[in-house]
Amino acid sequence: MSIEKKTGPATMAEGMTTAVLCINGEDHALVFPTHHTLLEVLREECGLTGTKHGCELGECGACAVLVDGEPVLSCLQLAAEVQGKTIDTVEGLQRDNELHPLQAAFADLGAAQCGYCTPGILMVADALLKRVPAPTGEQVTEALSGNLCRCTGYNRIVQAVLWAAAMERGDDWRPDETLFEGTALPGADG
């Protein structure tokens, strides 16, 4: 007796999925193992390595991307489940040849040290700024609470997000100059 396997329109061969994923505004026709996460497909099939492979447990936030404008931990999201949705990665933040205000603020303020966590933080911050154009420091801290950074004390990260929000709104606000230059050494005359 032969048993016929049911296959949906996205299943090509046993264990493989064909899908068109809209990533950073471009359609990508892909074939990948059905069990692959969005993180694996972005990095291995699309060559978009800005999304970082961190804990694989959904605890560090390094792999955060936006799916339909909402932050998603790509290490926990099956790629086969996001067909028909828009996916935004850190590579899509840049506007033509100009850095996104978040990228510029992080670079200018030195908000990243090793930088491994930065792509996930940028994506979560981007979602926040689209939802709340003038966030408070507390709102930024809350939004980024799922993003772990082992190198910084988060102060410059929060200040960079606030600065980027100000830039997006056209405000002249800047973080305190000591964040750019540091404080004077005790006893040093300036």
As to burial, measured by CB atoms within 10 angstroms (0-12 exposed, 13-18 middle, 19+ buried), residue 49 is middle
Helix or strand holding residue 105 (H, E): helix 101-109
Q: What is the pLDDT of residues 47-87, one digit of tens each?
A: 999 999 999 999 999 999 999 999 999 999 999 999 999 99
Helix or strand holding residue 103 (H, E): helix 101-109
Average pLDDT of the residues in 162-173: 97
Q: What is the pLDDT of residues 99-155, one digit of tens each?
A: 999 999 999 999 999 999 999 999 999 999 999 999 999 999 999 999 999 998 899
Q: Which domains occur in the chain, in start order?
A: 16-92 (3.10.20.30), 101-179 (1.10.150.120)
**How sure is the predictor about 180, in pLDDT bands with cuts at 50, 70 and 90?**
confident
Give pLDDT, residue 178: 85
The pTM for the full model equals: 0.88
